[in-house]
Structure 1
Amino acid sequence: MTTMRNPEPATSPEPAARRVQVLIVQDHPLLASAISRVLEAQPDLAVSGVSSSGADAVQAAADNRPDVVLMDFRLPDVTGPAAARMIKSAHAEAAIVFHSADESETALLDAIDAGATAYLTKDATADQIIEAVRRASTGEVLIPAELFARAIARQRGVVTRKRERDQLLAEFTPRELDILHLLAEGLDTTAMAQRLAIAPHTIEWHVRHVIEKLQVHSKLQAVIAAAHKGLIEL
Structure 2
Amino acid sequence: MTIRVLIVDDHPVVRDGIRAMLGTQEDMEVVGEAISGTDAVRLACALRPDVTLMDLQLPEIDGATATSRIREQDPDAKVIVLTTYDTDGDISRAIHAGAIGYLLKDTGREQLFDAIRAAARGESTLSPPIVTRVLSWARADAPDTLSGREIEVLGAVAQGMSNKAIAGHLCISEATVKTHLLHVFAKLGVNDRTAAVTVAASRGIIRLGG
TM-score bracket, shorter-length normalisation: 0.5 to 0.7
CA distance in 2, matches of 1:112, 1:232: 24
- 2:190 matched residue in structure 1: 229
Indicate which of 113, 134, 146 corresponds to 1:147. 134
Q: Which runs of 5+ in 1 are unaligned?
A: 1-17, 163-227
Question: CA distance change for structure 1 residues 77 and 39 in 2, over 3 Å: closer, same or farther?
Answer: same
**Cα drift, residue 156 of structure 1:** 2.6
Q: Which has the higher contact order (CA 8 A, sep 6+)?
A: 2
Within 2, Cα distance between the matches of 1:37 and 1:116? 24
Relative to structure 1, the CA distance from residue 158 to residue 106 in structure 2 (aligned partners, 3 Å threshold; closer, same or farther) is closer
Return the letter of the residue paired with 2:124: V
> CA 1:149 to 1:88, structure 2 compared with 1: closer, same or farther past 3 Å?
farther
Equivalences for residues 152-163 of structure 1 within 5 A: 156-158=144-146
Deviation at 1:148, TM superposition (A): 7.3
Task: Give the length in aligned residue pairs.
Answer: 150
Structure 1 partner of 2:186? none
Residue of structure 2 in register with 1:104 after alignment? 87
With 103-112 and 29-38 compared, the bigger mean Cα shift is at: 103-112
Q: Can you give the 5+ residue segments of structure 2 that lack an aligned partner in the other structure?
A: 151-188, 196-210
Deviation at 1:147, TM superposition (A): 1.9
SS in 1 for 2:10: coil
Aligned residue for 2:91, secondary structure, equals helix
What residue number does 1:203 align with?
none
Distance 1:50 1:140 in 2: 23
Kindly provide the CA deviation profile for residues 2-46 of structure 1, in whole angstroms up to 9, marking residues without a partner as x.
xxxxxxxxxxxxxxxx31111100100011011011112211111
Q: Which residue of 2 aligns with 1:171?
A: none
Q: With structure 1 as the length reference, what TM-score do the two structures score?
A: 0.57
The equivalent of 1:50 in structure 2 is 33
- Local SS of the residue matching 1:98: strand
Rg larger for: 1
Q: Distance in 2 between matches of 1:78 and 1:58?
A: 10
Change in CA separation of 1:88 and 1:157 when aligned onto 2, cut-off 3 Å: closer
Contact 1:24–1:69 (Cα < 8 Å) also in 2: yes
TM-score by length of 2: 0.63
| Deviation of 1:131 (Å) | 1.0
After TM superposition, the structure 1 = structure 2 runs for residues 151-190 of structure 1, keeping only pairs within 5 Å, are 156-158=144-146
Alpha-carbon distance, 1:91 to partner: 2.3
